[in-house]
């Protein structure tokens, strides 16, 4: 008797792939050991989410920073993207790549040792953050949920880490990819509205009054047809719409 579960896959275009498991999978996978077989049912019609650099996002030659925001196992597709770069060139310069990864505890920051190596060797901008620091005695890194990097009180710190001037983290300098829980995606979108980051989800674009000529600059995992923010609630969408319109005016003015 089998148990069906949805999981995120880290699958670069070569070799084997990883299936990223949550900490609450421990009972289900307690008896699974290295090299054990796990069957993937192709009849289940898995949902494929494109968060890479293909023509449906920004393209591989886009010169902007690639800011990847991951919550928990949402880091998996970003691992694929980074590994792909290193596979093509072991000494690839990843200084335009930014990975912000959040989890409840340090032990849940998957691939951390590998990512720290990329940071040291390939100049990857990588920061992990934990949301329950009071339960950890040896954690000296960032604290808070991953989207809190974009909070107004912390944005200037992130810009300094990236070598950007104040208020320079905009769609002209960066593109954002988000993968994780819907709450993380919605919160990231909400925080970045003031910088003019345009979500690729068509329903949200329309609700925010984004003109067709404005390019997408915030790409996220789409779980289903339901938007990650309540676009039918005027108390939610009207303030966001006003903020987006103000941000777009600011961007157009700066470009001129």
pLDDT of 67? 97
Closest CA to 91 of 120, 54, 125: 120
What is the sign of the dihedral through the CA atoms of 217, 218, 221 and 224? negative
pLDDT of 47? 40
pLDDT of 17? 54
Contacts of 11 (CB under 8 A, 6+ apart): 17, 18, 80
> Does any domain span residue 29?
yes
> Does any domain span residue 200?
yes
- Return the DSSP state at 66: E
> Does any domain span residue 2?
no
Q: Which domain holds residue 168?
A: 8-255
d(CA 87, CA 103): 27
> Does any domain span residue 21?
yes
pLDDT (tens digit per residue) in 217-236: 999 987 778 999 999 999 99
pLDDT (tens digit per residue) in 120-179: 999 999 999 999 988 777 888 999 999 999 999 999 999 999 999 999 999 999 999 999
pLDDT (tens digit per residue) in 53-75: 554 667 788 999 999 999 999 99
> Does any domain span residue 193?
yes
What value does the mean pLDDT take over residues 9-22?
53
d(CA 36, CA 38): 7
> Does any domain span residue 224?
yes
d(CA 127, CA 121): 15
Angle of CA points 185, 190, 196, to nearest 5° = 110
Q: What is the CATH number of the domain that holds 234?
A: 3.40.50.80
Determine what percent of the chain is predicted with pLDDT higher than 90: 67
Q: pTM of the prediction?
A: 0.83
pLDDT of 225? 81
Q: Say how many domains are in the chain.
A: 1
> Does any domain span residue 17?
yes
> Does any domain span residue 106?
yes
pLDDT (tens digit per residue) in 18-30: 555 544 444 455 5
């Amino acid at each position: 008797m089998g148990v069906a579960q949805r999981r995120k896959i880290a699958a670069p275009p070569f070799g084997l792939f990883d299936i990223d498991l949550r900490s609450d999978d421990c009972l289900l996978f307690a008896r699974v050991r290295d090299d054990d077989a796990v069957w993937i049912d192709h009849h289940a019609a898995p949902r494929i989410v494109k968060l890479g650099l293909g023509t449906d996002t920004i393209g591989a030659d886009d010169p902007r920073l690639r800011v990847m925001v991951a919550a928990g196992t949402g880091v998996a597709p970003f691992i694929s993207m980074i590994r792909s770069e290193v596979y093509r060139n072991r000494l690839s310069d990843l200084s335009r790549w930014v990975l912000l990864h959040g989890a409840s505890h340090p032990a849940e920051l998957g691939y951390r040792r590998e990512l720290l190596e990329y940071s040291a060797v390939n100049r990857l901008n990588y920061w992990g953050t934990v949301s329950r620091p009071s339960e950890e005695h040896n954690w000296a890194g960032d604290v808070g949920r991953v989207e809190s990097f974009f909070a107004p009180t912390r944005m200037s710190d992130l810009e300094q880490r990236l070598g950007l001037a104040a208020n320079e983290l905009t769609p002209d300098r960066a593109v954002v990819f988000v993968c994780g829980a819907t709450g993380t995606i919605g919160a990231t979108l909400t925080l970045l509205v003031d910088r003019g980051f345009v979500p690729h989800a068509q329903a949200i674009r329309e609700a925010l009054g984004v003109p067709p000529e404005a390019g997408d600059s915030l790409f996220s995992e789409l779980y289903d047809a339901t938007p990650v923010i309540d676009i039918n609630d005027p108390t939610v969408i009207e303030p966001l719409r006003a903020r987006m319109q103000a941000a777009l005016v600011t961007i157009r003015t700066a470009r001129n």
